[in-house]
Structure 1
Amino acid sequence: MQVDARTLLSINVEKTPCHDALSLTEGGNLARIVLHDQVYSLRITRAGKLILTK
């Protein structure tokens, strides 16, 4: 059985967690994200782009 790339992509997308950026920032433009004792900043720019910095 052959599976094309689009099918594999849709299967992976369904299993990947998806989070709304505005929910993470609670309607603002900045959220802090912690990973292994490191704090990162997630910022939504005026142009609507995301920037993740340490």
Structure 2
Amino acid sequence: MDRKEADPAAEPALPPAAPKPFGSEPCHDARVLTGGGSSARILLGDQVYALRITRAGKLILTK
């Protein structure tokens, strides 16, 4: 789906960032990003990336 054509009101709300125990960088739980599943899409500008949690509990981010 083209992000530019999506209805912003239909978009799910972003989860809040966790408290910042590691300085000033936001900390996000990968399980929250994936909605409890094993994969999610991440947008950066006009690029779409795939985030995947492996069976071994590692993260893979691909373009």
Do the structures match in fold with TM over 0.5? yes
Q: Percent identity?
A: 71
Gaps of 5+ in 1: 1-12
Q: What is the total number of aligned residue pairs between the two structures? A: 42
Gaps of 5+ in 2: 1-21
Query: Quick one: higher RCO (CA 8 Å, sep 6+), 1 or 2?
Result: 1
Structure index of larger Rg:
1
Which protein has the bigger strand share? 1
The alignment's TM-score, normalised by the length of structure 1, stands at 0.75
In structure 2, the residue matched to 1:7 is: none
* CA-atom RMSD in angstroms: 0.6
Following TM superposition, the consecutive aligned residue runs of length 4 or more in structure 1 with deviations greater than 4 angstroms are: none
